[in-house]
Amino acid sequence: RLQELQAFAHRPACTVDGKCFEIVANIGTPEEAELALEQGAEGIGLYRTEFLFMHREQMPDEEEQFQAYRRVAEIMGERPVIIRTLDIGGDKELPYLELEKEMNPFLGYRAIRIGLNQPQLLKTQLRAILRASVYGNIKIMFPMISSLEEWREARRIYQEAEADLKQEGKEFKAGLELGIMVEVPSAAVLAARFAKEVDFFSIGTNDLVQYTIAVDRMNEKVAYLYDYFHPAVLGLIKLVIDAAHREGKWVGMCGSMAGDPLAAPLLVGLGLDEWSMSAGSIKEIKRIIAGLDARACAELAERALQLNTTAEVRELLQTFHH
């Protein structure tokens, strides 16, 4: 049984009727990239860089960041590596940044908001990523984007980092693909406009659920409300994928929904292009996709989107699963 499952790890994820999907991994450290490869990852869909910054006295400088990003790029070779810029704040603290205590840290000074308020910090990271880009196939994404202004400002800082490196005669690949995480409802609602400007989207369901349903992702007391099969969340996911495809852009998902076997037929049906998950889930998701019919999944997705409650959606998917 286990051997049977293992056989799927290094096969492409294609449905019975020949529709293929990109299955990639979420990582937090360069070491995890090796593990991801062993598990059959076709790339890295989310490199959470905050772990490089946490549990230490000082900010890692450009050189140290460069070395870490370069390692991941080298391990993955030609395969894509999406590096997410620092997503700190919320529940993640950095002692040396001296962030103030906030009433609502998840609605406060977090992620790209810090990067735009302290552009030196973001620019140093972007310089390190650009320098590492020479060693592999790196793309960049920005976390917690909630408006077009934020995205444009982040892109401007990226362009400045390129210009500075060029002037200094440093090596880098110009014009890396730039994407945004869609994890705030305002970004999902404006997906059609973002799609004209970004190279790709990655849907972060962990936060998108939290912000769409107004339910703290860490609070046990309200955990019963926290569900990515909520009809409002499904509606936003559908909207984002369709908006991107209309502009010829691709869509990934790096929240935990992407690694859920129950969600797989639905995500096939919605046409999600890239699925990023914990390395341990890859072979199981590949196995499930290999047994699916894309046209049946499209019908399933259409039906799921008509339903009124989370329970109805779960029931439909359970029935399909068995």
The answer to whether residue 204 forms part of the interface with Mg ion (CB under 5 A) is yes
DSSP letter string, 218-264: T-GGGGGG--TTSHHHHHHHHHHHHHHHHTT-EEEE-SGGGG-GGGH
Decide if 197 contacts 150 (C-beta within 8 A): no
The answer to whether residue 32 forms part of the interface with ligand PEP (CB under 6 A) is no
The answer to whether residue 254 forms part of the interface with ligand PEP (CB under 6 A) is yes
> Which sign, positive or negative, has the C-alpha torsion 118, 174, 182, 314?
negative
The answer to whether residue 207 forms part of the interface with ligand PEP (CB under 6 A) is yes
Stretch that binds ligand PEP, among 10-18, 202-210, 280-288, 297-305 (CB under 6 A): 202-210
Q: Which of 22, 42, 87, 162 binds ligand PEP (CB under 6 A)?
A: 87
Q: Which of 179, 204, 265, 269 binds ligand PEP (CB under 6 A)?
A: 204
- Which amino acid type is present at position 42? E
Beta strands in the chain (DSSP E): 13-14, 20-27, 44-48, 80-84, 137-142, 178-182, 200-203, 250-253, 274-277
The answer to whether residue 271 forms part of the interface with ligand PEP (CB under 6 A) is no
Stretch that binds ligand PEP, among 10-18, 148-156, 157-165, 205-213 (CB under 6 A): 205-213
The answer to whether residue 88 forms part of the interface with ligand PEP (CB under 6 A) is no
- Please tell me what DSSP assigns to residue 216: -
Question: Which residue has its beta carbon closest to Mg ion?
Answer: 207
Stretch that binds ligand PEP, among 158-166, 201-209, 223-231, 287-295 (CB under 6 A): 201-209
- 211 burial (CB, 10 Å; 0-12 / 13-18 / 19+) is buried
Active site residues: 254
Measured from the CB atom, the residue of 22 and 162 that comes closer to ligand PEP is: 22
| Short-list 79, 11, 74, CA closest to 44 | 79
Phi and psi, residue 123, nearest 5°? -65, -40
Tell me if 183 is assigned to a ligand binding site: yes
The answer to whether residue 273 forms part of the interface with Mg ion (CB under 5 A) is no
Binding site membership for Mg(2+): which residues? 183, 207
Q: Which residues bind to ligand PEP, rule: CB under 6 A?
A: 46, 48, 87, 183, 204-207, 254-255
Binding site membership for phosphoenolpyruvate: which residues? 48, 84, 206-207, 217
